[in-house]
Structure 1
């Protein structure tokens, strides 16, 4: 059975735009997924990326066109300048880590709910009540927001080291057990084709 390691940050607009297409692709091919939230800023710093504030104006202008364009293409609500961004991604990331360890809910829905809350609903995903709300909606115990914080922090740090060592430089980033890597929500069709043996 194929396996996908999914490296992402809960704050990424591109992770939000990925929706739950990864989960649909995995289900179609009988593939499993391990969710690996990472600190995107740290990934950028370690792999030659540039924070949005420090990018050349032409790159910022392109981003301002591309993100709304992709959202329209996908039929998704989107705010280019959300009310609460950037915020601390750690609480939501720790919740994903705890939920994955606990099992019993829908991890894809949980990850997507954080993105939707930020980029479509103008909510602050660093707040405990929002984290609990997202956990509940995805079928998890909301108490996971308070459990395993030390383990969550350790896993979050370990995910960063693993990401850098395996060639991750952005989000969303998908690595299949074949060794093939796919960067960006706009490469999900390629991931699908690869799992089908066409790429």
Structure 2
């Protein structure tokens, strides 16, 4: 059984575009996923890479054009300039970490539904994923106890920076980033999911 380390930031619009395709691919091939939300702004700082707001004007223009094209090709209703972006991604990341632990121990919950709900909140619903109410709603959408945002706070706070360090050590430089840990095969971006699907079929 293949294993995928899934590195992503709840701030990443390209991860929003990925939707639940990773989970469908993993189910198709019987692969397991470890969800590793990380601090992408800290990662950019550590890599010396410019954050979106600091990039050259030409790249900003291109990025927006590309976002529109991807949005339209996927039939989504993404807000081009969401009211609460960027925001503090830590609380949502803590909840994702806590939910994964709960799923591992109980077998109950849907990580894809939780994560997709968080991304819809930012990019479609003009809600702030740093707020407890928004996180609780997303946890409920995934079939998790909404109190995980509170009870899982300590574990999330401990694991989140560890995930960022692990991302750096693994060579991650963006979000979403998928690593098949069995072979160290790496895939960057939602537009590489078809390649991941094909690759898993060869194992």
TM over 0.5: yes
Q: Distance in 2 between matches of 1:176 and 1:88?
A: 29
Q: Distance in 1 between matches of 2:159 and 2:188?
A: 22
Matched, 1:143 2:169: no
1:125 to 108, 129, 153: 129
1:23-66 deviation line (CA, Å, top 9, x unaligned): 00000100000000000101111123210111001110010100
Q: Distance in 1 between matches of 2:164 and 2:185?
A: 19
Q: How far off its partner does 1:124 sit?
A: 0.8
Q: Distance in 2 between matches of 1:118 and 1:149?
A: 21
1:161 alignment partner in structure 2:
165
TM-score by length of 1: 0.97
Q: Distance in 2 between matches of 1:49 and 1:171?
A: 13
Q: How does 1:1-199 map to 2 (within 5 A)?
A: 1-103=1-103, 104-177=108-181, 178-197=183-202
TM-score by length of 2: 0.95
**Secondary structure at 2:34's aligned position in 1?**
strand
Q: How far off its partner does 1:148 sit?
A: 2.5
Q: Distance in 2 between matches of 1:49 and 1:19?
A: 26
Q: How far off its partner does 1:77 sit?
A: 1.3
- Which sections of structure 1, spanning at least 5 residues, go unmatched? none
Q: State how many pairs are aligned.
A: 198
In the TM superposition, structure 1's runs of 4+ consecutive aligned residues that sit over 3 Å from their partners are: none
Q: Distance in 2 between matches of 1:78 and 1:160?
A: 27
Q: Distance in 1 between matches of 2:22 and 2:47?
A: 24
Q: Distance in 1 between matches of 2:142 and 2:152?
A: 18
- Which sections of structure 2, spanning at least 5 residues, go unmatched? none
Q: Distance in 2 between matches of 1:102 and 1:56?
A: 42
Q: How far off its partner does 1:161 sit?
A: 0.5
